[in-house]
Structure 1
């Protein structure tokens, strides 16, 4: 086992750098480059504020515009499929989606048993009529067609999508519009189905690219049955001199031998989405940032400690707290319903937040409010009570 080439603080610095959180980029081309660097951007439907996939990119692209994601889809530079969850993925990685698709085609179960008759009917309609969404398959009494039952048709669409016969062409009011894969894919794409070894190598490479280092558990996160193969390949690549490893708090981390140079630490505040690539693995977050985080969307209201939709707050290299947010769009006000700072965070009893932190947090809130179409933000409650400190 090789020695630890960086201090724990430097590993955190590298992680944030590889996540694009130290040096913000600008423009649509940088948006694509960021998706390629991260490997995926998770899609989520919750919209009390701007949806997760847009927020993840806004955290990294200074002038991010949501329409850029639609344009990149239309230009066939990204596509929708499954990472550890529903996600936008770089089109350059398309062949690696074929690994899961082949498994499903060969009988591996997804969410429900395939209804092959309904799948055939859905496939025939899209072939004949062109792109369709689930709501196009509503009940009809036409004598020349089937009685469409929306739920089975929707399941058939999703199964055909997961198996690779359909792709998402675009979204309309967040509804997926499906078309035949051969009518969506750009020409000249590599369509070779990767072997298990190739797919595992892809998982390792993408994870180390976007985080700097990782354990076999983290690299195989929500990839059922692949952890042994990931662990074996990590050890083989270390033995071949390609990777190094070190132990920290009882976990073995692997890293590429050619590490990038460290960039300066950002002095800005980043409000991170609950589904952000940095945040999504809670155990890793606890390990590296000593930050105990749980999204409380699925927690009964009376048991919530922070609030329904809380954003972790990143300042320099620390996660210093979180805030529950809601955009009241009709009034163009972003409500910070509960702002909570970590216990032990150094707060001046007289002046509250340091001038640097207060200024950075106010700027982050102003930017996030504007991103949500709001003209102002309002702090409702804070723990500890820093209302005057922040807004004065």
Structure 2
């Protein structure tokens, strides 16, 4: 069994996540698509104190990224919306691996949040089929009863049809979903065959290892239902075929591919700082971020204000191959300023001048990405929790 130091494990994880080096070749559009193919998904989130998470995650790997590139990828049928561990954009090349979840939801094997009004769903689908793409607001409802987060019945019907695969998101207007019949959203050449359980499980393993370099069983099946036994079997088969191998990091056992281990021979850019989204693929699994990077992270927007330690929307900061700080950021539209309400550094930073210089360059770039002309750090401190 290959044993990796923690520094090697960090390097492997970062290269697999295209951080901080990014995709090297192609124009900005091509780099964005390549990022999707590498990561497997990009999580969507609604919080907008800075640029939304899906745009931020793509920009972190492609500094020339612009939000219009994502819209174009959707329009070109290269990327689609569905569910990963959460709402996400996924590469269209992986479309058929969204089918098992859709089939399970449609059959009732898995439940979504909403109860199904099948008659209303039938009517909503028929209208979209006849009229073309529609938004929830295009359906008038006299009913006052709501479900879930105050959702009106037609919206619930749309979401159920979307989750079970009858509808897809053709585009977004503002942040509002535009639904259309699946057959009209998919490209003509897409494979729509249902993968076998064995094939799907192998995809889950290899897709995860491609994006993260190495991983454990719990990480590979994070927030996924009814796949554990299949993934266990897939790991056994892949290991016996020498497509994956066991490695050890800090006494813990993980799986990796030999191709991923070859990344350790490459040189990591340690001089560049990267400001990451709280929903970035690198650290969305907080236990993994703690184990690999020794970085305990909690997004505090869901924590009562009086109990927050670092701030409402603290963004993790990568530098020197490590997670070394967090910045509670907010765009001040009136002054066109990216405000760093609180910058908190880890005591592990050894070359503070080099870090400060790298962070200043990154904050300038992040301010521009957020359509600000300047940034301002309003408060600084060191994390003394450890």
TM-score range, shorter chain: over 0.9
Partner of 1:138: 140
Which one of the candidate residues 371, 377, 383 is aligned to 2:381? 383
Give me the whole-angstrom Cα distance separating, in 1, the residues matched to 2:156 and 2:327: 36
CA apart distance, 1:261 = 3.3
Partner of 2:333: 329
RMSD over equivalenced CA pairs, Å:
1.8
Whether contact under 8 Å (1:139, 1:148) holds in the other structure is: no
Partner of 2:114: 112
Partner of 2:323: 319
Give me the whole-angstrom Cα distance separating, in 2, the residues matched to 1:190 and 1:34: 21
Q: Which moved more, 1:376-385 or 1:156-165?
A: 376-385
Give me the whole-angstrom Cα distance separating, in 2, the residues matched to 1:139 and 1:231: 47
Question: Tell me, what secondary structure is at the counterpart of 1:138?
Answer: coil
Give me the whole-angstrom Cα distance separating, in 2, the residues matched to 1:23 and 1:248: 23
Q: Which moved more, 1:167-176 or 1:109-118?
A: 109-118
Measured at CA, do residues 304 and 147 of structure 1 come closer, stay the same or move farther in structure 2, by a change above 3 Å? Answer: closer
Matched, 1:269 2:276: no
5+ residue gaps, structure 2, are: none
Give me the whole-angstrom Cα distance separating, in 2, the residues matched to 1:258 and 1:179: 40
Alignment of 1:18-37 (within 5 A): 18-25=16-23, 27-37=28-38
1:151-181 C-alpha deviation (Å, 9 max, x unpaired): 1111110000011000000000100000000
Measured at CA, do residues 147 and 246 of structure 1 come closer, stay the same or move farther in structure 2, by a change above 3 Å? Answer: closer
CA apart distance, 1:14 = 1.6
Question: Tell me, what secondary structure is at the counterpart of 1:109?
Answer: coil
Partner of 1:339: 343
1:204-259 C-alpha deviation (Å, 9 max, x unpaired): 11111011110001011111232232223212221222211023345320011333
Measured at CA, do residues 122 and 257 of structure 1 come closer, stay the same or move farther in structure 2, by a change above 3 Å? Answer: same
5+ residue gaps, structure 1, are: 141-145, 348-352, 386-392
Whether contact under 8 Å (1:81, 1:162) holds in the other structure is: yes
Whether contact under 8 Å (1:42, 1:86) holds in the other structure is: yes
- Taking structure 2 as the reference length, the TM-score comes to 0.92
Question: Tell me, what secondary structure is at the counterpart of 1:168?
Answer: strand
Q: Which moved more, 1:325-334 or 1:37-46?
A: 325-334
CA apart distance, 1:45 = 0.7
Partner of 1:46: 47
Whether contact under 8 Å (1:22, 1:264) holds in the other structure is: no
Whether contact under 8 Å (1:215, 1:251) holds in the other structure is: no
Give me the whole-angstrom Cα distance separating, in 2, the residues matched to 1:285 and 1:148: 42
Give me the whole-angstrom Cα distance separating, in 2, the residues matched to 1:38 and 1:212: 11
Give me the whole-angstrom Cα distance separating, in 2, the residues matched to 1:296 and 1:376: 25
Partner of 2:215: 214
Partner of 2:57: 56
Give me the whole-angstrom Cα distance separating, in 2, the residues matched to 1:330 and 1:155: 37
Question: Tell me, what secondary structure is at the counterpart of 1:59?
Answer: helix
Give me the whole-angstrom Cα distance separating, in 2, the residues matched to 1:365 and 1:162: 38
CA apart distance, 1:113 = 1.8
Alignment of 1:1-392 (within 5 A): 2-4=1-3, 6-25=4-23, 27-107=28-108, 108-139=110-141, 151-259=152-260, 260-262=262-264, 263-266=266-269, 267-346=271-350, 353-354=352-353, 356-384=354-382
CA apart distance, 1:16 = 0.5
Whether contact under 8 Å (2:367, 2:375) holds in the other structure is: yes
Whether contact under 8 Å (1:126, 1:132) holds in the other structure is: yes
CA apart distance, 1:316 = 1.9
1:51-84 C-alpha deviation (Å, 9 max, x unpaired): 0000001100021111000000000001000011
Higher Cα radius of gyration: 1
